[in-house]
Chains A and B, each alone.
Chain A
Amino acid sequence: MMTVLHMAGVSFSHAGRTVLHDLSFGVRAGEMTALLGPNGAGKTTLLRLLLGLTRPEAGQVLLEGRPMQGWSRREVARRIAYVPQGHVPLFPYSVRDIVGMGRLVETPFALGLPRHDRDEVTHALHALGITHLADRPYTELSGGERQAALLARALAQGARTLILDEPETGLDYGQKQRLYALLQKLATQGHAIVATTHDPLAAARVFDRAIALRQGRIMADGPAAAVLDPPMLERLYAPR
């Protein structure tokens, strides 16, 4: 499997406190990687580094073998899509508008969305099974529907690497199962999936690989079922 994103000896500190210590690992195409750890372990910072939103203090983040800072924002967005935790903009954009934002990468300047882009949006809405929500205001959706819209946006973006921030937050059991099934399908199609999660049991079952992060260091990195066994979880989530 091809390594698309690579962390090479990355350290990062914030306000004088070291958040990440000398991390090294690769994100591979076709693999689902879960990122686990107690709150404050540095998961969010790690995601920001993988997305190229911030620079490491030491070490390098490599996208397809080249340092992240050498890529333009647009080129990064063509390769990596981000699914944030659903938050709400002030203005009531429709779900179709939100998903259409995924096409900004290809058509940033336009007075209307070209046919090809509209087709991509329709396709993404269909893939998530939310075609019926297309004209609803995003601001009025439930948490699960919002998550689906953001995931559809990531698909419309056309990137082969998806980075998700606690995607199961606010989802009911059925929605979670459908989300995992979709992610697995994307992985078999060759997408690289990285998701932070607070649900180790589901992660052990669904993800290929797990990286356990505690106090800014990797405690374990390997097959999800092996990494996320009870003794490990006890140590990972033990109070400091």
Chain B
Amino acid sequence: MRLRGLAVAALAAMGLVGLAVFSACIGRFAVQPGQVLHALAASMGLMAGANTPQTHMVHSVVFGARLPRIGGAICVGAALSVAGAAYQAVFRNPLVSPGLLGVLAGAGTGAALGIVWGLGPVGVAGLSFAGGLLAVACGVGVAHLFDATSMLMLVFGGLISSALFTALLSLLKYIADPQNQLPDIVFWLLGSLTQVTPHALGVMAGPVVVGIVLLSACGRMLDGLAMGDEEARTLGIPVMALRYGVIGAATVLAALTVSVAGMIGWVGLVVPHVARLLVGPCNMRVLPASACLGGMFLLVCDDLARTLSVEEIPVGLIADLLGVALFVAVLPLLRRGWRA
């Protein structure tokens, strides 16, 4: 049992790495898998790098353009999916997406505000992140005004907060300069990984990995939560601390993804279902599996986004379309899983 788990984890990691190498090869400038591995080995000092114009070109394409983007796709897909799975566990509802408490609307509003104020990419990303956290704080705050222990109140708080920030976003679109700011906002909201720089990836990767590990480690307690709040308490689970801790971590992850890649929402709802089909309902397996599958899914989406046509297609759009197709494909299987 233990060995099987490790074997599956190893297989999943190999699949992810294989997909990443494949993704590094495809594109306008075709690169052989051998060249990618060679460049990787050379950059790690494992192999002497040949000093030809060809290897320079490979190096700059692979390291300057493709790998940060590949890393970004994996991080964003993994973070959104794990956040979605965590939200679904906390709210005991498989129809919940990471946007439930308003994080996506808030982050979108923050980014739009940054664009309207004419901030640079770092400023926009920072405001977006802050906007996501602020929106969830508003939702939770509204819930606390009435009944902090009620999950229904929390959902209402999220609805109110989402509506508020969506309205603010509309206002920002309305007052944005239609010549240059509005297209920026619209494009940004479609979701794209073109802005992912090595630096941004470096900033994002740490928190994403920590978040995934932390949430996965809470997986067993989240299973206990599935039995209902009171029963979970009799099992020794500090229900409120767990709920708000997990919401906090998942919110940070979701806000991070919006701040680097714009609005790519659906992944977070669909991928956990596929993960549950593969590894069963236990969250200590569902959460890491969601992260892995989500990373792969968005990587495939991004590959399509940059190779399907000469013009780049926003990856959020592809992710939504593929996500819908995937959801429709697995829906008949899901019905067996839940007791609907």
Contacts and interface: CB of A to CB of B under 8 A. Distances in A.
Nearest to A93: B281
A157 B237 CA distance: 12
Contact of B234 (A80, A87, A94, A108): A80
Interface in A78-107: 78, 80-82, 84, 87-94, 97, 100-102, 104-105, 107
A191 B230 CA distance: 22
Contact of A101 (B94, B223, B233, B238): B223
Q: Which of A73, A82, A100, A139 has the most CB of B within 10 A?
A: A73
A102 B234 CA distance: 10
Contact of B282 (A53, A93, A109): A93
A111 B216 contact: yes
Contacts of A81: 234
Interface in B213-269: 216-221, 223-224, 226-228, 230-231, 233-239
Given A82-B231, A87-B228, A90-B94, A73 B281 contact: no
Nearest to A103: B220
Contacts of B218: 109
Nearest to A82: B234
A110 B235 contact: no
A93 B223 CA distance: 9
Residue of B2, B221, B227, B236 most packed against chain A (CB within 10 A): B236
Interface residues of A, number: 36
A51 interface: yes
B224 A92 contact: no
A178 interface: no
Given A109-B220, A111-B216, A104 B284 contact: no
27 contacts: A53-B230, A73-B238, A73-B239, A77-B233, A77-B234, A77-B235, A82-B231, A87-B228, A89-B226, A91-B226, A91-B337, A92-B281, A92-B337, A92-B338, A92-B339, A93-B281, A97-B223, A97-B282, A100-B220, A101-B223, A101-B235, A104-B220, A104-B221, A108-B220, A108-B237, A112-B284, A157-B235
Interface of A: 48, 51, 53, 72-74, 76-78, 80-82, 84, 87-94, 97, 100-102, 104-105, 107-113, 139, 157
Interface of B: 2, 5, 92-94, 216-221, 223-224, 226-228, 230-231, 233-239, 276, 280-282, 284, 288, 337-339
Given A53-B234, A74-B236, 15 more contacts: A53-B230, A53-B233, A72-B238, A81-B234, A88-B339, A90-B94, A91-B276, A92-B338, A93-B282, A94-B280, A101-B224, A108-B236, A109-B220, A110-B220, A111-B216
